[in-house]
């Protein structure tokens, strides 16, 4: 299931703002949804969305 593009908001502590960085380099929210680079994009400006986690490279993020 596709969810709308991600958006930045002021921090409120709501459940939808609590992300977990996993050993698989995924950013998860709501238990089983991952931050996903739409269309498997890798360039600046690629839209992000929430998607069911599937361990694809478009759901792997590096902390810097």
Reported as a single tens digit per residue, the pLDDT across 6-46 is 778 899 988 888 999 999 999 999 888 999 998 888 888 89
Any domain includes 38: yes
55 contacts: CB under 8 Å, gap ≥ 6: 24, 26
Any domain includes 4: no
Any domain includes 54: yes
Any domain includes 26: yes
39 torsion bin: left (phi>0), alpha (psi -120 to 50), beta (else): left
This prediction's pTM: 0.80
Residues 60 and 25: beta-carbon distance below 8 Å: yes
39 contacts: CB under 8 Å, gap ≥ 6: 46, 47, 58
- The total of structural domains in the chain comes to 1
Full residue range of the structural domain in which residue 20 is found: 15-59
Any domain includes 33: yes
Any domain includes 40: yes
Any domain includes 50: yes
């Amino acid at each position: 299931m596709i969810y709308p593009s991600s958006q930045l908001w002021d921090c409120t502590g709501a459940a939808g703002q609590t992300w977990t960085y996993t050993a698989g380099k995924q950013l998860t929210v709501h238990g089983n949804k991952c931050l996903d680079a739409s269309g498997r994009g890798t360039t600046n400006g690629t839209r992000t969305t929430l998607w069911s986690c599937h361990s694809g490279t478009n759901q792997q993020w590096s902390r810097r």
